[in-house]
Amino acid sequence: MKIKNVLLIVPSTDKSWKKDLKNKIGTAPLGVASLSSMLKFHGYQVKIVDMLVECCTPKELLRVLNEFKPDIIGISATYTESILVTYKIVKYIKKIMDIIIIAGGVHVTFRPKEALDNGFDYVVLHEGEATIIELLEYLKVNLEPKNVPGIAYRDKDNKIIVNENREFINNLDSLPFPDLLSLKLSEYMTPLAIVTSRGCPGDCIYCSSRAMSGKKYRIRSAESVFSEVFYLSKQILFDDSLLRSYLAIYDDTFTVNRKRLKLFCKYMISSKMNVIPWKCESRIDVLDEECIALMKKAGCFAIHVGVESANQHIIDSLNKHIRFENVEKALSLLHKYGIQPLCSFIIGNHMDTKETLQKTLEYIKHIIVDYNARVAISPNTPLPGTELYENASKYNIIIHSDNWEDYSLMKVILSTHYLKREDIRNIYVEFSEKINSLEAGT
């Protein structure tokens, strides 16, 4: 079959949730943009449609299909809360044209049979850049891709086949920069964003990062990271809507490799690129005064850390492997150097009680007042691929909903040994109101 035009679609949820999902994600779809770059590098024509910011009605989608005339379609199926809308999109497209549709992303990596049962022809598991290129080569010559690692599909007998996993990409510097310029960047809350590493050595029970990207922490070089920042900075000059933007570095732990961090910061300072404000993600246990001071000089204005609870035994039960006393030290240092702490907490951990949550609330009040921290909270939401979801009974939690649209990190879907579902819902509302009041200064 001829494959030249590849349409990549990022689904939204229904209209009532679209704004909330856009605000939570806030940035361009970096995974899809990375696939676009790889496909273009191999000679394909690519169009990205991000339904969070464009084309959300069947009529508009039909127009795109008629104008672009794709030979194959790829759909990002990462977010659990939007997966049902994703399946509706697949069924709609299948009704109006005979075309192969490929899924990729976190949710379908852990639920490939579900994706195939809902109309997808192939599922790309875990990382997609190398897999999608090899899969398309097989499809061009009408070969069954039984030797393509990292995919799931139905064979000619309608049997579901899940091939062996593909090895993760070790040399991330070999990948082209994500194709952000094909997106309507001005439509995103955080239009300028990069990812500089993959994999996670941690084993937090609420996170699927390790299961999705492997336990080996793989990093791009400081030179590669700086080059992408430099490239993006030049695009700002040609788009007035991006002039007030900041750069977001969305690694789970950008600061874990101190040598790379220091080198990147030195490049930013020596090139005077530190006029571009940037924020990143970190862990409490890999922040010290030397690095914080250097990051401030390099243009860093905010660092996000996951605290999750103000109780050490709760933190330990999550396999987070940090000491709570180090949270206070790190936040104090960030405040000292004028870097805003961005802290996240989980409400309704499996070991939480009303008393432990009250202690967490008091600590949240303290860091907002004394350290000018911005705080994000979410109800405990076990997502597919996490230890907490896959082994819920082990942690004495009951998941009350099997409707994927409820897995939005804003709805309470579980009860624990210590807290009823209604208890968690009421506490979540109370926390939200008090945090909003404190941050507003009222």
Q: What is the DSSP string of 117-149?
A: HTT-SEEE-S--HHHHHHHHHHHHTT---TT-T
Question: Which residues are within 8 A (CB) of 295 and not within 5 positions of it... i.e. 6 or more apart?
Answer: 255, 261, 265, 280, 303, 339
Same domain, 334 and 399: yes
The helix-helix angle for 30-41 and 129-140 (nearest 10°) equals 50
The string of DSSP letters for 285-352 reads: GG--HHHHHHHHHTTEEEEEEEEE-S-HHHHHHTT----HHHHHHHHHHHHHTTPEEEEEEEES-TT-
What was the pLDDT predicted at 54?
A: 81
Q: Does residue 356 sit in the same domain as residue 255?
A: yes
Query: For residue 25, is it within any domain?
Result: yes
Q: Give SS3 for 248.
A: strand
Return per-residue pLDDT of the chain as tens, 442 residues.
899 999 999 998 655 445 555 555 578 899 999 999 999 999 999 999 999 888 678 899 999 999 999 999 999 999 999 999 999 999 999 999 999 999 999 999 999 999 999 999 999 999 999 999 999 999 999 999 999 999 999 999 999 999 999 999 999 999 999 999 899 888 888 888 999 999 998 899 999 999 999 999 999 999 999 999 999 888 766 666 666 678 999 998 899 999 999 999 999 999 999 999 999 999 999 999 999 999 999 999 999 999 999 999 999 999 999 999 999 999 999 999 999 999 999 999 999 999 999 999 999 999 999 999 999 999 999 999 999 999 999 999 999 999 999 999 899 999 999 999 999 999 999 999 999 999 988 6
Nearest to 250 by CA among 210, 278, 222: 278
Are residues 89 and 75 in contact, defined by beta-carbon separation less than 8 angstroms?
A: yes
In a domain, residue 185? The reply is no
Cα separation values, 19 from 23, 59, 88, 156, 177, Å: 6, 20, 19, 41, 28
Domain match, 154 and 204 both: no
Q: What is the CATH number of the domain that holds 356?
A: 3.20.20.70
Does residue 46 sit in the same domain as residue 146?
yes
Same domain, 206 and 346: yes
Domain membership flag for residue 169: no
Alpha-carbon gap, residue 211 to 8, rounded angstroms = 24
The verdict on 202 and 255 lying in the same domain is: yes
DSSP structure string for 357-375: HHHHHHHHHHHHHHH--EE
Residue 39 sits in the same domain as residue 140: yes
Spatial CA neighbour of 208 closest among 45, 333, 341, 78? 78
What angle do the packed helices 83-96 and 58-68 form, to 10 degrees?
50
Same domain, 10 and 151: yes
Residues 145, 195: one domain?
A: no
Round to whole Å and give the CA distance between 177 and 36.
Answer: 10
Residue 181 domain-assigned (yes or no): no
- Return the residue matching tokens 């101190």: 258
- Output the pLDDT for position 53: 85
404 and 296 in a single domain? The answer is yes
346 and 201, same domain (yes or no): yes
Asked whether residue 173 is domain-assigned, the answer is no
Which among 235, 265, 234 has a CA at the least distance from the CA of 249?
A: 265
Q: Which two tokens stand for residue 64?
A: 């795109």
Q: Tally the domains of the chain.
A: 2
Distance between CA atoms of 346 and 357, rounded to whole angstroms?
Answer: 10
> Contact, 322 vs 367, CB < 8 A?
no
The identity of residue 391, as a single letter, is: N
CB-based contacts of 414, cutoff 8 Å, min separation 6: 348, 379, 380, 381, 382, 392, 397, 398, 399, 400, 421, 424
100 is written with which tokens?
Answer: 């192969």
Token digits for 326? 């180090």
**Helix (H/G/I), strand (E/B), else coil: 113:** helix
The residue segments making up the domain with residue 45 are 5-162
DSSP string, 40-52: HHTT-EEEEEETT
* CA–CA separation, 321 and 327 (whole Å): 12
Residue 177, domain member (yes or no): no
In this structure, what CATH number is given to the domain that contains residue 81?
3.40.50.2300
Residues 6+ apart with CB under 8 A from 377: 344, 345, 346, 347, 364, 428, 431, 432, 435
Task: Give domain status of residue 134, yes or no.
Answer: yes
On whether both 151 and 280 belong to a single domain, the answer is no
Could you tell me if residue 167 is inside a domain? no
